[in-house]
Structure 1
Amino acid sequence: MKLMKTRKILTILSVGVLGATLTACQNTNKKTKVTSAPKTSKISVKKNIPHKSNKPGNLSPNGLTARQNASVITVYGSEKYGKDWTKTLKKAEESNLDISFHSRDDFSGIDKGEGYVYQVAPKGKSSDTYYTLDGNGSSQDIYFYQGNHYLGSATIKDIVTYLNKLNRDDVVNKLAGRAKIGNQEADSGTDDSDSSSHKNGKSNIPGDAGEFTMPSNMQGTWYGYYGDSLEEITIGAHTLKNEGGTYQLHKQSKDYDAKYSESVFKQTEHILRTVSYKNPNYDFDGIGTQGWVQPTGGTDVYAPHTEAGQAVIVNYNTSGGFRSLLWKSPELAKKNKNTHFSDLKQLGAYINDSDDDDSDD
């Protein structure tokens, strides 16, 4: 009897041990599930979502202001060529972006593009990053340099497409607000694509409504023949330099009575009343200039145009007719000196020439 009791006790103990073991295993499994769940939740699937959901940038290659133009060129130079261009961009983001104009005579190795050599630099600093331009609008070619070393080229349209893919429009817009073109101060609240909105540089000259900003595609040095003489005309953001000297371009108040006055004339001898001019008769709209208190005479108009596949400026007077066709280089001006473009006849160009001499662009 004692033996049977002992076996019963052993059996009960065995069952108890087995039950405890099973319970322990079940608890262990539960703990494993609990501890493994957070590990699974920590596997980040969302990290890729922002990249996938990012939409391309919304920059447009059309109608860029001078500041936006300089900004997209600088950001593209950094993304595409790195090195000095990246250094320039980073420092400009900490201060301002300065774009200065230089004569080609100062650079032995920069031979692409037309007109000025543009230097890109942080405010108050020097840099080794330069570019040149050829053409205008979205098809304008930009040639990139590091010092005298040519890096490559791209059109404004290609540059904007490239930056949109990288979603860099935010950087471009911020940098544009910190940009200074020539003597134009940075002002993030000013859109220099609209000349009438520019109010910087207002002086105490009677009737002065502030500086007039020339369109970016007209800025630079141009060459044309006035008769048999080759002349050089340099258009800055707010200046025009020709054989007569350097003139400041300003807007005149609409309510100003611009009657001739000897004292005001002397005060404004090198200031031109500048307006956006719409030609009612011909397709040659542009920028018109007059003396500040000019009593009589027409308006000198500088109209951006295209001839022979090249960006040009048609210079004519509303009273005297066609004056000259301005090109981006003296070589182009000389090459086309005796070329008669038929669309210019409407301005009175080549009026004494035979129709046999005319050629279409």
Structure 2
Amino acid sequence: MNKKIGLLMVTGTILMLTACGKQNSNSTTVSSSSSSSLLVAKSSAKINSDNLTPQEAVSLISTYCGLRYGGEWASMTKQAERDGLQVKLYPSSKYQLSDGGQGVAYDVTAGGKSRGLIYTVNNDDVNIYQNVKTNQKNNKLATISKSAMASYVNQEGQGKLVSDLAARAQVVDKRNDDSAASSTSNDISDHKYGRLEAINVPSEMQGTWYSADNDADSTMTFGPHSCTYDDGDDKGTVQLYKQDPQFGENADNYENKDIQDATKNWGKTSFFNLDGARWLNIRGWTQGAGDGESYAVKTETINGRQVKILVEGGGAENLVDAVYYQSKDLAQQNADKKFADLHYLDNN
């Protein structure tokens, strides 16, 4: 994601747009004595940290934390085995976290009531918290990569638990619940500024994706109804809505600064089919000219393995200008790699 996105977002004309297995120097030291008690009986099933769905990711993190830290994490994970796992997404600014990650706080629960079990994500690394309170400073327990988590979980024979939890896990985006300007509900009653309803992001697209193309490290994180971008210099979150065509037909709406300011974090969103893929197109809410940016999930063969990638295309011909992967390592290993079935911007 290049720098033009953040700049255009501020003006209201959006073109839209884990590697250490130990605690880092800022982490609070935590005893591992609780790991002696397994969460479930051991099995030979293994979990791979590559290409995790959002449901698999929260299940892996919950299982690891339950094993490693015990206490509330273990209690919650055991309850989740019975009642189902849920993770609610909030802006990390909701809490006073020592590391807010990429701006999203993941509140992990079982039974619906928050236990203060939070994590944030920084590229491939996960920052882990417990006993989080909204009105006080909260220091992380540790920062650890998903690959290191998977190795530990597999070593303890708890891979099957991750799969079982993922089968019933729910991801709920709550980032806009406190905002009067927007809503993640599909029933938006005010229809202000032409907003009809929230767009449902395909489940296979949800989660964090990484790219090292174009000499820049960047991430795209899709929630159920939102998109967060971060290229190191610019970052932000866009809520994805369907726009009333009648709003778009009035050119005065695009030039009204009050409307631009009120909708600067909204994306005009639609779907289209091209080259055998279903694309999610995102444009600025008050964007006049331009085709915005479009995203699709495809499967490619990399080193003999089938790997899911997120393709970003733009312009009238929807030419590819970046490819995203589900891990930072894969992104670095395949920086600027060209796939034969994709049509690239720099080839035209």
Q: TM-score, normalization: structure 1?
A: 0.50
Q: Distance in 1 between matches of 2:283 and 2:299?
A: 25
Change in Cα spacing, 1:248 to 1:258, as seen in structure 2 (3 Å) is farther
Alignment counterpart, residue 195 of structure 2, candidates 208, 215, 223 = 208
Name 2:215's counterpart in structure 1. 228
Deviations 1:248-290 (A, max 9, x none): 21122355444332222332222111123222xx123221111
Whichever of the two has the greater Rg, that structure is: 1
The answer as to 2:286 corresponding to 1:286 is no
Name 1:356's counterpart in structure 2. none
Q: Output the aligned Cα RMSD.
A: 4.9
Q: Distance in 2 between matches of 1:72 and 1:329?
A: 15
Q: Give the superposition deviation at 1:214.
A: 1.8
Q: Distance in 2 between matches of 1:149 and 1:226?
A: 28
Q: Give the superposition deviation at 1:294.
A: 2.2
Q: Distance in 2 between matches of 1:154 and 1:250?
A: 37
Alignment counterpart, residue 126 of structure 1, candidates 111, 116, 124 = 116
Alignment counterpart, residue 339 of structure 1, candidates 337, 340, 346 = 337
Q: Distance in 1 between matches of 2:77 and 2:191?
A: 37
Q: Distance in 2 between matches of 1:155 and 1:258?
A: 53
Structure 1 unmatched ranges of 5 or more: 1-64, 108-115, 135-141, 164-168, 186-196, 353-361
Name 1:248's counterpart in structure 2. 239
Change in Cα spacing, 1:101 to 1:223, as seen in structure 2 (3 Å) is farther
Alignment counterpart, residue 266 of structure 2, candidates 255, 264, 271 = 271
**Which structure has greater helix proportion?**
1
Q: Give the superposition deviation at 1:231.
A: 2.2
Alignment counterpart, residue 344 of structure 2, candidates 339, 348, 351 = 348
Change in Cα spacing, 1:84 to 1:315, as seen in structure 2 (3 Å) is same
Q: TM-score, normalization: structure 2?
A: 0.51
Change in Cα spacing, 1:220 to 1:144, as seen in structure 2 (3 Å) is same
Number of equivalences: 238
Amino acid at match of 2:286: V
Deviations 1:124-150 (A, max 9, x none): 21248999xx9xxxxxxx9896xx993
Amino acid at match of 2:297: P
Deviations 1:332-358 (A, max 9, x none): 2221124221111xx235516xxxxxx
Amino acid at match of 2:330: L
Check conservation: 1:240, 1:246, Cα contact below 8 A: yes
The answer as to 2:299 corresponding to 1:310 is no
Q: Which has the higher contact order (CA 8 A, sep 6+)?
A: 2
Q: Distance in 2 between matches of 1:201 and 1:333?
A: 37
SS of the aligned residue for 1:273 comes to strand
Name 1:194's counterpart in structure 2. none
Q: Distance in 2 between matches of 1:71 and 1:335?
A: 22
Q: Give the superposition deviation at 1:322.
A: 1.4
Q: Give the superposition deviation at 1:198.
A: 5.6
